[in-house]
Chain A
């Protein structure tokens, strides 16, 4: 009884107590930060009273509840997750990972097969068809931006500019010259590619954050030009009555020479929606095919080399100027094609459709999907736009849920859903390159040593 306890057993509870103390301290700090953040946001409100004057109200009860919730949450986290670097990657055994990489091939095939079947499965559901068109459009934009950001490592925050150039090019050419969709589409792509070159020249020497700022400005410049060049673009009124696409010359109308009458079908407005869906799906698959192809060609490898080390690329005889410009213009071209599709689908465009929010959304799709991964981009586009719709019921909490999902992904998959890089060529066996080694668009400017 009187025998003293062995030292290890004594120090153990002491360490535990210290742990609890540290956890309480951590939780208190978190609660303090939460208080600082929310005291003005939630605690104090000014509302318009019945006479029109502002009435000062307080909601300290709600504030206290939130601060308490943060305190308890942080305390629980500190006590249970202490030092545990939770990463999904470490929880998955190697054999499962190997199987998953095989699975990716089938997943991609299944994804494409499902995409092809969407109009058949959801033929009667116009809402789903419209959403599917939207998702595929953004997937295509994601593929295009992925060339610039994922492969060449050039952070572009103004991608919407090329989307806008494509849309306005299509609308103006189709309206002014009465050319068919299939002629206007490549023209819109070419004009957007030129816009890409135009942006590329001044930013040749920039990388990382500096490049991001200039491209952000470029996106705004294009939007402001569209807004203010009234004679050409119609300013804030936009352009309406843009010609709708026809099925190789057969318009989607109830007329005798329309699509339905020619094929002996009952006229239905869904025909056009289905046609638009397959049109954008074909464009997206074309973008995907070209990107995958380019990755295996010298130009694609040069883009990736540029992302990895620009100085070494130059020392190996790669013309970094033209390589960068081709990346910009190639990405811009696909943005322009997507823009032309957008214009013909909507029938009406205005500068409001081309705000920074669109650029941010496309960039978010690329970053979430995993830079350089095509499947990741497609999954991310589906998850983000589908998620927007899914959370529509939550009304004002939609953005909150969405933000929480983003934070979770940034914590658990900081390099995106598909973070490994697949080599373009192999000698014995194709092995994925772990994300930690691969450079990304965030690296800055360097000098040779």
Chain B
């Protein structure tokens, strides 16, 4: 039952001056699983993401990433771009961050920067039109085309990313992250702003990423429909502290979780839980 650990977070603490955004947090995300991070606003979810992807250096704690092939990385010691390049952790952002003035295809090619850079002999060979680079670029375009097909945006490949509707931008951002061949994909609220149909499609897409590509997913999400349906495991944060950790069925009945979400006294938890259908 227990798969190999892919991300191990140990005693992670992140302080900003007097504010402790994440406090002594430990959890494990496993290979080929979708791990969801939930919690009320300000619980420290995005801070945790920024620690994992190297935008913040944690005050205390260790973040260990283990590849299926046995390589292991201490993320808190790597600069941000190496976390993406070597540890192969990809992420999306809460407020979509695409290269708005570049086309969809270009967005996906930028994501394949490092392999292409190698193929172009760090620009020198590419400048003189080497065959090897031309082949590498054609392969990169094929890969981009594959992911554009997967998110249903292939017909718009040559449009500017900034001209896409919001839902399509979210899908493109996930496709772009997948073009880096990640071992761990971190999604910050991928369902925010999506309608019901789009949200169902997103569920399908995330499952496909997990099952077909073997990518583990770490997910921040407020949409409980998405979280409960696709997560293999849920971790609940409140005020930077972990208050629950387990399968969806366990977490949804956890008294502390209901209290954190609804802010009611313990004796009222049962009735409140019934009201919201948890």
Contacts and interface: CB of A to CB of B under 8 A. Distances in A.
Interface of A: 290, 293-294, 297-299, 301-302, 304-305, 307-309, 311-320, 421, 423-431, 433-434, 437-439, 448-449
Nearest to B129: A293
B101 A316 contact: no
B84 A426 contact: no
Contacts of A294: 123, 127
12 contacts: A298-B109, A304-B102, A308-B102, A309-B97, A315-B53, A315-B90, A315-B97, A423-B105, A428-B155, A431-B103, A431-B159, A434-B160
B105 A315 contact: no
Question: Would you list the 3 A-B pairs with minimal beta carbon distance, nearest first?
Answer: A438-B101, A317-B84, A317-B85
Interface stretch (B23-31, B32-40, B110-118, B269-277): B110-118
Given A293-B127, A425-B105, A309 B98 contact: yes
B81 A314 contact: yes
A203 B137 CA distance: 32
Contact of A426 (B105, B113, B117, B177): B105
A315 B180 CA distance: 10
A302 B113 contact: yes
A297 B130 CA distance: 11
A301 B113 contact: yes
Interface in B139-173: 141, 145, 148, 154-155, 157-160, 162-163
Contacts of B117: 298-299, 302
Interface of B: 46, 50, 53-55, 80-82, 84-85, 90-91, 93-95, 97-103, 105-106, 109-114, 116-117, 120, 123, 126-127, 133, 137, 141, 145, 148, 154-155, 157-160, 162-163, 176-177, 180
B202 to A, nearest CB: 20
B101 A318 contact: no
A309 B100 CA distance: 8
A85 to B, nearest CB: 21
Contacts of B101: 304, 307-308, 421, 433, 437-439
A302 B110 contact: yes
A330 B112 CA distance: 22
Nearest to B80: A314
Given A427-B141, A449-B46, A449-B94, A439 B100 contact: yes
Specify which of A424, A431, A449 lies most central, judged by the most chain B CB atoms within 10 Å of its CB: A449
A314 B84 contact: yes
A317 B180 contact: yes
A420 to B, nearest CB: 10
Contacts of B94: 449
B99 A448 contact: no
Contact of B106 (A307, A316, A320, A424): A424
Nearest to A318: B113
Contacts of A316: 84, 90, 110-111, 113, 176-177, 180
A302 B127 CA distance: 15
A437 B98 CA distance: 11
A68 to B, nearest CB: 46
A319 B93 CA distance: 19
Given A317-B113, A318-B113, A434-B160, A299 B123 contact: yes
Contacts of B163: 434, 437
Contacts of A437: 100-101, 160, 162-163
